[in-house]
C-alpha cells in the first residue's frame, strides 16, 4: 500500500470514528428523557443538559477552527464553554439543543466527508503559520481526533444518566 493510500485510509478511519461517536451521542440523547438530562451525572458534577450543550458548543466551534465557516450558534459558547454548570445561566430547552446538535453535525459532515488529505493535514485557524511550521501535528485532522476523544469522554459520563429517573 503506497503512502497516499495509507493516508486516505487513516483519514477514513478518523472520520468514521468521529461519525460513530456522533451517532452514539444522538442515540443516547434520544434514549434519555428530558428529566434524566436534568440530573447531575454524579453528585456535584455537571448535568446531562449541560454536557449536551457543551458538546454542541465545542462541535460548533470546530466550524471556524477547521475553516468550514462561522459558528451556527455562537451564543452557546458563553453558556456551555465559558461558564460552568449551575452558574445561573439560562439554558436552552432540550428539544432546542437536539435541533442544534443535528444542525451542527450536518454542517460538519458536509465538510468532513469531502475535504482532501492535504486539507486535513493543513493548519487549523488557531495556529500561526510560524508555529505550524515548527509543529505540523497541529493540523485539522488532529483537531478531529481530539474532539472525537472529548466527545467519547462526555458520552461515557452521560451514560450514568441512564440509571437516573
pLDDT digits (tens, 9 = 90+) for 101-113: 999 999 999 999 9
According to the model, what pLDDT value does residue 89 have?
87
Please list the ranges in the chain whose pLDDT falls under 70. Answer: 165
Q: Where are the alpha helices (DSSP H) in 113-161?
A: 117-120, 129-134, 140-158
Find the distance separating the first CA and the last CA of the chain, reported in whole Å: 52
**Hey, what's the cell of 132?**
505550524
Give the start-to-end residue ranges of the domains of the chain: 3-163
Instruction: Please give the pLDDT value at position 4.
Output: 87
DSSP of 36-79: HHHSBSSTTS-BHHHHHHHHHHHHHHHHHHTTS---S-THHHHH
What is the share, in percent, of the chain residues with pLDDT greater than 70?
Answer: 99
CB count, 10 Å around CB of 124?
18
In percent, the amount of the chain with pLDDT more than 90 equals: 93
CATH 1.20.120.450 fits 3-163, yes or no: yes
Cβ count within 10 A of residue 126: 11
Amino acid at each position: 500500500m503506497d503512502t497516499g493510500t495509507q493516508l486516505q485510509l487513516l483519514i477514513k478511519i478518523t472520520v468514521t470514528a468521529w461519525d460513530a461517536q456522533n451517532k452514539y451521542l444522538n442515540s443516547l440523547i434520544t434514549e434519555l428523557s428530558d428529566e434524566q438530562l436534568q440530573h447531575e451525572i454524579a453528585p456535584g458534577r455537571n448535568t446531562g443538559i449541560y454536557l449536551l450543550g457543551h458538546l454542541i458548543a465545542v462541535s460548533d466551534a470546530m466550524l471556524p477552527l477547521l475553516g468550514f465557516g462561522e459558528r451556527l450558534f455562537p451564543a452557546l459558547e458563553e453558556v456551555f464553554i465559558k461558564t460552568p454548570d449551575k452558574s445561573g445561566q439560562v439554558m436552552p430547552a432540550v428539544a432546542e439543543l437536539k435541533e442544534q446538535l443535528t444542525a451542527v453535525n450536518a454542517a460538519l459532515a458536509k465538510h468532513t466527508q469531502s475535504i482532501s488529505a492535504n486539507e486535513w493535514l493543513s493548519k487549523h485557524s488557531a495556529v500561526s503559520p510560524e508555529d505550524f511550521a515548527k509543529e505540523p501535528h497541529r493540523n485539522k485532522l488532529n483537531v478531529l481526533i481530539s474532539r472525537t476523544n472529548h466527545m467519547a469522554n462526555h458520552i461515557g459520563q452521560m451514560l450514568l444518566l441512564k440509571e437516573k429517573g
